[in-house]
Structure 1
Amino acid sequence: MRVANSATALVDLALKAGDSYSAAAVYSIAESKQKHQLKELMFGKRRDALALARWEHTPASVLEALCSASDDAIVVRLDKNQNTPTLAISKLYVAENQRSKSSASLTVLVAQHRHASLSVLKNIAQFEDDEASLLAVSKNLAANSEVLSILLDRFESSSILAALQKNISEHPSTSPQLLEQLYEKGDVYVKAAVIGHANCPLQLIDKALLEENVFIQRQLAADKRLNNEVISRLSLHQDKSVRCAVASNAIASNDVIKLLAVDESDVVRRVIASRLDLTSHVISRLMNDQDVWVRQKLARNPTVSFGVFDKLSKDLQADVRRGVARNPRCPVKLLHLLAKDEDYWVRSAVAYQHRTSKQLLIELADDTAVDVLSGVANNPNTPQRLLKKLTASAEADVRRGVILNPSATRLTLLPLLEDAYYLHRLMLVGNSKLKDKDKWHLCFDPDYQVRFTAFKYFAGHFIKSSS
């Protein structure tokens, strides 16, 4: 069968298929009469309507078409579905308010929905009394500073004040003015969150310098606005979590880094080993560290010298050697050495490494470990003839590696369109190396998810052409 040459033809095909998922995929490109037929197909059976209302891949246009349903079970699923669009959420909220006061549980779902409009969130903040709904608004990323301010002012002496303060102090839209208000009235946890907030005003940083609480000090230690004197003082803090925060602070001086490189806590030294501004002295200290994860972090650090790579490539711990193999600056000479490592996990890192040569990948293709073969299949340097051979692997992970390989050609990928694993066929729908005529038969695939993805892909052609 030929590829559909118009939106109408594609929709007709979905209607003939009698499949609710295929119908959902083409709903947005259908004409008025066809949309009525598609609705009958999608929503004619309650179980189909419930499934589409719940499914995370259901298009927003279909979810909006469902929002007029009077079925409570469908409404609940629409409120929970994070793809339900803003307009539909607003309609559902209005409908729920009109029905009865017993819809508090549904209001909670609206209040926490990522597509809830500002007007809806503001309305809930101003007029609703259900505590769960109000707390949901305070955590919703769609809320702005005005909505958060309404909540804070309205419930200044409420039993939920502490929870509101916590949520608002962590909300990215909280204004500097609100943060000042929270710092003055909140507990130590709220104060710590305020200090760690991106909008925290400088005057609060100065106030926090006088605090002794560990939670506040830890947040303070990570702030890039501190001066060297404060950073040096905090690097001597008795709590390792504070010292960890200092170790991760980009403005820490060389003297502070040198001090923390010999810290008694393994966790602090691991953070130091990941920094990109280490001196040769600190690196020399860390590559002999007793903690394997310190050495592993250093092995992954792209700023270390070839001499450090060489030493760590001989480490007794496989995790460290794997770290060297995964490093984007790992010398090619060491990749040849690590390709023969006794640990398959190290060899797999070489197989995934983009600096690995074609010849070395050919050698690794004789490995028996699935993880190594998956890396070979995934590597863009792998010769095409070898990729074609790997498409016949009995291991799904290996075949998936070929599908994910940006260098795999159309001829290499064609056999995988018939792969036994539905996910692989689904992944190939969007592959740019394949032609539309190659993918067309996937509209009639046995798996509903593949059919949906294929119909949606071809429907996308007509959306683009009409825009």
Structure 2
Amino acid sequence: MTSLGHPRLSGLARNPASPQDVLVRLAAHPAGRHGLSLRAGQLADAVVEALLSHDGSGTAAGLRRDRISPEMRRSIAEHPDPAIRDAHADFVHHMADREVGIGIADLEEAYDRPRTALAGAPDPRLRAAVARSWHDRPMTVQAALLADPDPQVRASATVRPQPGVPPEWTDRCIADPAVRANVVHYVPLTQDQFAELMRTEDEEIRELVAGNPHLSADMVAQLLDVDDPNVRVAIAQSRHVDADTRNRLYALVEAEREAGSAKACVALNWSFTEPSWLREEPLDERLTYLDCRQPVFRRVLATCRDLPDEAWRRLDNDPDIKVRRTAARRPDTPPEVLERLVRAHGDEFHIRPPLVEHPNFPRHTLRTFVDEPDPRVRYVALQDPELPVTALHQLAAAPEPSLRRGVARHPRATDALLNQLLSDPTPDVADEAAANPVLRRTRMYGILSEGDV
């Protein structure tokens, strides 16, 4: 995101307050062009023209429809240089050929054909790209993709559980090596299909089948003694397993982890599966999982919204931080619970919305976080848009770049603070200071001059 060599130029190009003449000048510098490629919103025609004059095909390749005006789209489409005229379409073709995700609207624009026609294109690479990008395609299109003669197309059509595999296609998909691993973890299986998959002796297939949420109690019973950490954890999360069996399976995997098994460690700590079926159970049954030893069950329980007060009290005091964070996202979380949680552990700003934006969070307390010993907690104070300048100076002097970066983008950052942070040794900090919309225009022009732009 940041130009390591010229962070102030890349940040200035992202600054929403940068005037057009600044952006035109930045188009002449690689770091400026990098920042402009990340700039939010539509680019002015004059800026696009400047970009094309300095880096024609490179710029045109990344100019999506929402980035330029209709007039500029027509101008590029009629450009005398084919390298510029065809750059974006060539880029989309390149991505499709290399199986890189690309939007279905981009494919339609680049190939100048509707998605229904593209799904039957002669080139199998294009049909596969459509299968990867057209997520809400009708079942008639899906059936044609499942019957495609090219294995790459069939595989692309079955990566996602939606639009799904019709029951009449399940046998054929299970027998197809190109798609078997894609479908066995989400399609409902008959007993015969399950038995056939178990006969393959394929470790990956067995692990995927174990995570299938549609397994019957008899199927789960047949997997109980499989000596594989991933299978054990998946089966332990099944609705058909009682508490004693679940605890036994987890204990076996935990013992393997303690013995140094990397696979057991991954199964316990890096699995994205969860017992989502628990949400569908009657309330009385769900509440029995308040005492479950495995935090993943309590985390799923904490996503429910109909629990009684006593259950919320226990979840708010759960020993697992992830359970407490999940519970805190309910609509009526008490303010004191939110503050206590954030003050003890900070917030998770990569998860939207963060807890400090919860309607019940006592935002008047934010500035008191400045003096907390944990830098992750001090960072929370920066969510107060009216944070006193004295507090900003205090945080700007912190050894942690994350705190200085937070100050650099704060709306109350002063000229003195921004000048200080523009020279910060950490590129991300200088980049954010240059991208702050409160930066004065005179300083913007100074940055251009200092960068010989």
Class of the TM-score when normalised by the shorter of the 2 chains:
0.5 to 0.7
Q: Shift of the alpha carbon at 1:149? A: 4.7
Structure 1 runs, 4 residues or longer, greater than 6 Å off: 297-304, 322-338, 348-355, 378-389, 408-414
Query: Structure 1 residues 152, 350: closer, same or farther in 2, change over 3 A?
Result: closer
* Alpha-carbon separation, structure 2, partners of 1:326 and 1:393: 28
Query: Structure 1 residues 419, 78: closer, same or farther in 2, change over 3 A?
Result: farther
Q: Shift of the alpha carbon at 1:261? A: 3.6
* Alpha-carbon separation, structure 2, partners of 1:336 and 1:23: 42
**Match of 1:43, as an amino acid?**
V
Q: Pairwise CA RMSD of aligned residues?
A: 5.5
Query: Structure 1 residues 220, 413: closer, same or farther in 2, change over 3 A?
Result: farther
Contact 2:52 2:59 survives alignment (8 Å): no
Which residue among 169, 178, 182 is the counterpart of 1:205? 169
Instruction: Trace 1:346-365 onto structure 2 (pairs within 5 A).
Output: none
Query: Structure 1 residues 104, 56: closer, same or farther in 2, change over 3 A?
Result: closer
Q: Does 1:400 align with 2:400?
A: no
Q: Shift of the alpha carbon at 1:183? A: 3.5
Q: Shift of the alpha carbon at 1:267? A: 1.9
Q: Shift of the alpha carbon at 1:106? A: 1.8
Query: Structure 1 residues 455, 26: closer, same or farther in 2, change over 3 A?
Result: same
* Equivalent residue, structure 2, for 1:391: 370
Q: Shift of the alpha carbon at 1:43? A: 1.8
* Equivalent residue, structure 2, for 1:34: none
* Equivalent residue, structure 1, for 2:418: 445
| 1:60 counterpart SS class | coil
* Equivalent residue, structure 2, for 1:126: none
> What do the CA deviations read for 1:127-180 (whole angstroms, capped 9, x no partner)?
xxxx638748995313378534544655x2xxxx34334323323255544443
Q: Shift of the alpha carbon at 1:66? A: 1.6
| 2:163 counterpart SS class | coil
Which residue among 135, 154, 172 is the counterpart of 2:134? 172
Q: Shift of the alpha carbon at 1:252? A: 1.6
With structure 2 as the length reference, what TM-score do the two structures score?
Answer: 0.57
Contact 2:104 2:115 survives alignment (8 Å): no
Q: Shift of the alpha carbon at 1:387? A: 7.6
* Alpha-carbon separation, structure 1, partners of 2:296 and 2:268: 9
> What do the CA deviations read for 1:297-341 (whole angstroms, capped 9, x no partner)?
7998787745542xx7xxxxxxxxx98998976998999996xxx
Q: Does 1:415 align with 2:398?
A: no
* Alpha-carbon separation, structure 1, partners of 2:318 and 2:96: 60
* Alpha-carbon separation, structure 1, partners of 2:236 and 2:44: 49
Which residue among 217, 234, 244 is the counterpart of 1:271? 234
Higher relative contact order (CA 8 A, sep 6+): 2
* Structure 1 alignment gaps of length 5 or more: 1-18, 28-37, 113-130, 313-321, 339-345, 366-371, 430-438, 457-467
Largest Rg, 1 or 2: 1
> What do the CA deviations read for 1:23-44 (whole angstroms, capped 9, x no partner)?
95247xxxxxxxxxx3334324
Which residue among 85, 94, 102 is the counterpart of 1:132? 94
Q: Shift of the alpha carbon at 1:51? A: 0.9
Q: Does 1:424 align with 2:417?
A: no
Query: Structure 1 residues 331, 177: closer, same or farther in 2, change over 3 A?
Result: closer
* Number of aligned residues: 365
* Equivalent residue, structure 2, for 1:192: 155
**Match of 1:132, as an amino acid?**
H
* Equivalent residue, structure 1, for 2:114: 147
* Equivalent residue, structure 1, for 2:36: 55
Q: Shift of the alpha carbon at 1:424? A: 1.3
